[in-house]
């Protein structure tokens, strides 16, 4: 998520540790019985996203000039869930969603492109792993770079 304002330019980045995979029965493995529809797991990714949004809003509330701003998000199901929208609106902000299939309007797409290229360019040292490489690459971007990424998206509207 990229939040930018003249008074504050900040980027929240969190890497979620993956959960251990659970053993799951494959549908159709009970050949002689009618397959039963299994309920899908809900809330884990949305809950993680809600924590990121909450931390971002905590930081935004430290700056009065950021009150009543819009949070611009993609159309992923976790972004458009009622719980996320209610969380944002309860804190005095508004959510606006980008149209589907519009990476040119989403600044994070350009940011991740820069991070991805930085991670690919160099070999891993013995003390590094993917998490440390991503953290290093994300800190290399200057304010000017973040500013340019945001304005590139604005100019495409």
Say if residue 59 is in the same domain as residue 95. Answer: yes
Say if residue 116 is in the same domain as residue 157. Answer: yes
Q: Which of the 8 DSSP states describes residue 21?
A: P
Bridge partners for 94 per DSSP: 70
Say if residue 131 is in the same domain as residue 93. Answer: no
Q: What is the mean pLDDT of residues 125-143?
A: 83
Say if residue 121 is in the same domain as residue 142. Answer: yes
End of a domain among 80, 100, 120? Answer: 100
What is the per-residue pLDDT for 132? 85
Domain count, the chain: 2
Say if residue 143 is in the same domain as residue 69. Answer: no
Contacts 24+ apart (CB under 8 A), 124-131: 131/15
- pLDDT tens digits for 79-119? 889 999 999 999 999 999 988 888 888 888 888 888 898 88
Range of the domain at 123: 102-157
What is the per-residue pLDDT for 102? 84
The structure's pTM equals: 0.57
What is the per-residue pLDDT for 15? 64
pLDDT confidence band for 68 (50 / 70 / 90): confident
Greater confidence (98 vs 8) lies with 98
- φ/ψ bin of 92: left (φ > 0), alpha (ψ from -120 to 50), beta (otherwise): left
Say if residue 91 is in the same domain as residue 114. Answer: no
Bridge partners for 10 per DSSP: 3
Do the domain assignments include residue 106?
Answer: yes
Q: Nearest to residue 72, comparing CAs of 157, 144, 142?
A: 157
Q: Is the pLDDT of residue 25 over 50?
A: yes
- pLDDT tens digits for 9-21? 455 656 667 667 6
What does DSSP say about strands 2-4 and 9-11: parallel, antiparallel, or unpaired? antiparallel
- The answer to whether 83 touches 50, Cβ cutoff 8 Å, is yes
């Amino acid at each position: 998520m990229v939040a930018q304002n003249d008074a504050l330019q900040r980027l929240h980045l969190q890497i979620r540790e993956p959960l251990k995979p659970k053993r799951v029965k494959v549908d159709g493995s009970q050949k002689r019985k009618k397959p039963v529809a299994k309920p899908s797991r809900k809330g884990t990714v949305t809950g993680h996203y809600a924590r990121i949004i909450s931390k971002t809003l905590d930081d935004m509330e430290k700056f009065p000039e950021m009150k009543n701003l819009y949070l611009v998000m993609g159309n992923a199901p976790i972004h458009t869930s009622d719980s996320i929208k209610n969380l944002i609106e309860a804190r005095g902000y508004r959510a606006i969603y980008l149209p589907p299939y519009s990476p040119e309007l989403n600044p994070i797409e350009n940011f991740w492109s820069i991070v991805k290229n930085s991670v690919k360019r160099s070999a891993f040292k013995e003390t590094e792993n993917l998490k440390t490489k991503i953290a290093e690459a994300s800190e290399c971007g200057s304010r000017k770079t973040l500013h340019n990424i945001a304005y590139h998206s604005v100019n495409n509207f």
